Every structure is written in structure tokens, then in C-alpha cells.
């Protein structure tokens, strides 16, 4: 099956695209997009991979599924398009960056600038039906994104994995911690953050310290 994804990923994931689960997933997604509004738009479903090639991956941030409101999702976890109101979780991410690195909170929630520096912003599920949170879960996307995480863990070294909240921690349970840096905390959603499980994790400075120690260019958060 031909999938329009960055060539650097295609060579690593080619086998997945011909598996029955993925063919079923593609049929489901095509049907959903044909019969109603879904997000992100078709050309952005694999944006996380298109903005961050396999060779460039320095950091992996794991989200759950895309935003389901009008104009929000752009294929990168926690990210929204320009000129869209910042979602609460992203506000808390920006607040932690400001406290950690003294970087003033930007007005735009578009995180393409992170992805272009080597941050793989990977949702577990890459599509969603408009206004129906979680509507495309358990259709095959999770199997695919588990394979992506497994492949990055197996074939690369010194990658930083940021696992925020129980879902991400479970998804990243098989990461090889002997050769990668795994940073864990609560989720940045208000429910978790306001209970003290998010703020003060200093993941962004820790990531840059690790990258610098490995001789890699730090991320401009």
C-alpha cells in the first residue's frame, strides 16, 4: 500500500503498510473522511513525520489523539494551527517552559518550530471525527504508533522520550532506557497540573542538558 509519508520514515515502516491491520485502518479512515468532517486535514495526518525525519529525531513527545474542534489539529500532538486559541494543556506546557527556561509564552500554539528541530510530536491516534473525542481510537492507529516508538527505541540512540501522564507512560513502557533518556511526569492538563503533577518537572531544561552532553544541538523551545 502506498502511504504519503516522509521517505526517511517510509523505509523503516514499509512493512507496516502492507499488514492487514493497516489496510483495515486506511479503509476506515478513508470512509470517515468521506462521510463527515475529520481532523486533521488529510494532508496533515502524517505531519509529525513530515516535519521531523527519522534521522533528525532528538526528542519524542507522546500525545493521545488530535484536537477535535474546528481548525485546531495540525497533525502534531499538543499543537494547534496559527490564530487558534491555546488549549489548556498547551498553556500549561508554555507556563512550565517559562518557569524552567525564562522563555516568554508565545501567542501561537503551532509547534511546527519544535518539530523542525527534531521533536517528534506523536499522537497515539492520528485522526479524529469532528467534535467526537477519541472517535478513531482502537482502529489500528495505536498499533502503528507503538511500532514507531519501538523502532525509534531500537534503531536510534540517545533520544529523549517525554512521557506525560499515565497513558503516555504506558505507551512508552518498552523504551530501552539503557540507551535513551526517559523523562516522566503528570499530564499538563489542568486536572493533573493543578494537583501538582506537572509544574516543576523541568523537562525542557533537562532535555537540553542531555542533548548538550551528547554533543547535539539543543532545542529552542
Does the annotation mark 65 as catalytic?
Answer: yes
* CB count in 10 Å sphere of residue 83: 10
Cα distances (angstroms) measured from residue 109 to each of 54, 100, 113, 215: 24, 18, 10, 29
Q: Cβ(197)–Cβ(185) under 8 Å?
A: yes
Q: Is 163 helix (H, G, I), strand (E, B) or coil?
A: strand
Q: Which of 15, 50, 55, 65 is catalytic?
A: 65
Q: Cβ(36)–Cβ(136) under 8 Å?
A: no
Distance CA 96, CA 80 (A): 18
What is the maximum alpha-carbon separation in the chain? 50
Q: Cβ(168)–Cβ(63) under 8 Å?
A: yes
Catalytic residues: 65
Amino acid at each position: 500500500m502506498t502511504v504519503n509519508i516522509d521517505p526517511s520514515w517510509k523505509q523503516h515502516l514499509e512493512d507496516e503498510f502492507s499488514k492487514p491491520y493497516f489496510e483495515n485502518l486506511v479503509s476506515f479512515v478513508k470512509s470517515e473522511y468521506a462521510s463527515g468532517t475529520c481532523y486533521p486535514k488529510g494532508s496533515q495526518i502524517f505531519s509529525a513525520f513530515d516535519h521531523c525525519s527519522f534521522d533528525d529525531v532528538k526528542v519524542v513527545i507522546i500525545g493521545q489523539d488530535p484536537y477535535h474542534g474546528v481548525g485546531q489539529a495540525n497533525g502534531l500532538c499538543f499543537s494547534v494551527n496559527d490564530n487558534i486559541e491555546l488549549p489548556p494543556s498547551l498553556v500549561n506546557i508554555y507556563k512550565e517552559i517559562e518557569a524552567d527556561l525564562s522563555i516568554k509564552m508565545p501567542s501561537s500554539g503551532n509547534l511546527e518550530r519544535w518539530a523542525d528541530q527534531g521533536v517528534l510530536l506523536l499522537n497515539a491516534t492520528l485522526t479524529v471525527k469532528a467534535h467526537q473525542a477519541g472517535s478513531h481510537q482502537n482502529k489500528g492507529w495505536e498499533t502503528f504508533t507503538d511500532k514507531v516508538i519501538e523502532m525509534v527505541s531500537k534503531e536510534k540512540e540517545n533520544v529523549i522520550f517525554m512521557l506525560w501522564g499515565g497513558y503516555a507512560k504506558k505507551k512508552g513502557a518498552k523504551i530501552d532506557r539503557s540507551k535513551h533518556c526517559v523523562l516522566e511526569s503528570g499530564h499538563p492538563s489542568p486536572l493533573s497540573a493543578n494537583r501538582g503533577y506537572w509544574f516543576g518537572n523541568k523537562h525542557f531544561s533537562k532535555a537540553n542538558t542531555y542533548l548538550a552532553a551528547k554533543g547535539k544541538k539543543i532545542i529552542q523551545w
